[in-house]
Amino acid sequence: MDEKNKRLVITIDGPAGSGKSTTARRVAEQLGYLYLDSGALYRAVTLAALRRRADFDSPEQLAAIARECEIALVPASAGLRVILQGEDVSEAIRLPEVASAIGPVAANPGVRAALLSQQRRLGEPGGIVAEGRDMGSVVFPDAEVKVFLIASIEERARRRRLELAEKGIAVDLDELIRTIAKRDQDDSGRRISPLCKPEDALELDTTCMAIDEQVEYIVHAARQRGA
């Protein structure tokens, strides 16, 4: 393949609300790449577990649900549609109750194993922008471009509140700050695939950055690597 037109694997990791989803989607659009929202997979499993009234203290039960779930990510004009057991759950997986319950699911080794192979298959041909919390450290450790986004917790809560408000969901800002702080603690402290910045990742503080600036930065980095 032409060195100037390589199909790269680009990973964008970071904590909740740091701007991963919108930025990754826009980068993928500009490069003509596949967009992989790994968090949507874990949210879908969490939603399935909630609907089944699963015991979130039972790792075996959560892992079994992950293995049984049929999840598809379908490209759409607004990013991705998430299909769970044939149902479009793109909106349902973003509800606060899913975010509050996702910790034990994301930290479950069996769940992560069930979803890991699916993610790697999508990245095999290259030409993918994968966002999550362990894309550059675990799922795609050999990615050509790795970016780690950070932002203040207040800014991240504000963004999430606006996102939910656009969908007609009103959430108290202080409650969101507590939820995000708890998620940060869970993500960074879990034994399996904790949230961490890969040593070879570019760190980008998005607290005071517009989405366009974030996208431009990452696309430029990808172009420098031959995308």
Question: Using one digit for the tens of pLDDT, what is the confidence trace for 29-63?
Answer: 999 998 998 889 999 999 999 999 999 999 999 99
Confidence of residue 122 (pLDDT cuts 50, 70, 90): confident
Residue 204 phi/psi, 5-degree rounding, is -130, 115
- Measured between its terminal Cα atoms, the distance across the chain in Å is 11
Longest dimension (CA), the chain: 51
pLDDT at 88: 97
Q: How far apart are CA 87 and CA 69, in angstroms?
A: 12
With a cut of 50, say whether residue 147 has pLDDT above it.
yes
Helix axes of 211-224 and 20-31: crossing angle, nearest 10 degrees: 50
Which CATH architecture does the domain made up of 7-219 adopt? 3-Layer(aba) Sandwich (3.40)
Q: Which residues pair with 202 in a beta bridge?
A: 147
pLDDT at 78: 66
Domain parsing of the chain, residue ranges: 7-219
| Single-letter amino acid code for the residue at 174 | D
Mean pLDDT of 1-22: 83
With a cut of 70, say whether residue 18 has pLDDT above it.
yes
Mean pLDDT of the chain: 92
- pLDDT tens per residue across span 176-197: 999 999 989 988 888 888 889 9
pLDDT at 23: 95
Q: How far apart are CA 71 and CA 83, in angstroms?
A: 6
